[in-house]
Amino acid sequence: MSSAPTPPPATRCARHPDVETGLACGRCETPICPKCLVYTPAGTRCPDCAAIGRPKMYILGPLDYARAVATVVVVGLAVGGLYGIVLSPSPRIGLFSLLIGGAAGYGVGAAIAALLDVTTSRKRGRQIQMVAAGGVVLVWLTRLVVSGVPLEWALRDFTGFALMAVAISVASQRLR
Ligand SMILES: [Zn+2]
Ligand SMILES: [Zn+2]
């Protein structure tokens, strides 16, 4: 007499009981379906383990967000306001204005990154980079409003564009 081998019981996703899966979390071995699977540098993880494994410096809680946003709003209004008074946008395009914008952008980007380091205890990653970029755009907008130039100049503000491009890239590099 021979009996056919019984097939192993179908494994189902812990979060989606109607989905059969051959995948499991590499840490806690919970069955997970492709929808739940999270790729991490350490391997495939369930959403719970993926959250545990993420270094804290890359996670912004509501308080971190509030501090980060408050920081860039203050910097945006202060720097943008000063900039608008000292150097009003000019519709002239020239290498000199691009250089000035780039140099100012370097300073603005480095300052925003340094201040965010202090107010958010050295957070890193995409979220803090986005907040920093928002601060840079606020510098540009504030300066535009304070200087009171016609709106159509904004579209030809190459000094300002150079400033924003350099500032966002410098801040992103430092907050990576
Ligand atoms: Zn897990
Ligand atoms: Zn699932």
Q: What is the pLDDT of residues 22-48, one digit of tens each?
A: 999 999 999 999 999 988 888 899 998
**Distance of alpha carbon 150 from alpha carbon 156, whole angstroms:** 11
The CA 80 to ligand 2 mean position distance, Å, reads: 48
Strand, coil or helix: 32: coil
Among residues 119, 125, 124, which one has the least CA distance to residue 73?
Answer: 119
The CA 15 to ligand 2 mean position distance, Å, reads: 5
pTM for the full predicted model: 0.70
For tokens 């189902």, the residue is 12
Among residues 43, 69, 89, 74, which one has the least CA distance to residue 132?
Answer: 69
105 contacts 113 by C-beta, under 8 angstroms: no
For the chain, 176 residues long, give each residue's pLDDT as a single digit of tens.
Answer: 556 666 556 789 999 999 999 999 999 999 999 999 988 888 899 998 888 777 788 888 899 999 999 999 999 999 999 988 887 666 666 788 888 889 999 999 999 999 999 999 999 999 999 999 999 999 999 998 998 888 888 888 888 899 999 999 999 999 99
Both tokens of 44, joined, read 């495939």
Ligand nearest to the Cα of 29, by number: 1
The CA 35 to ligand 2 mean position distance, Å, reads: 5
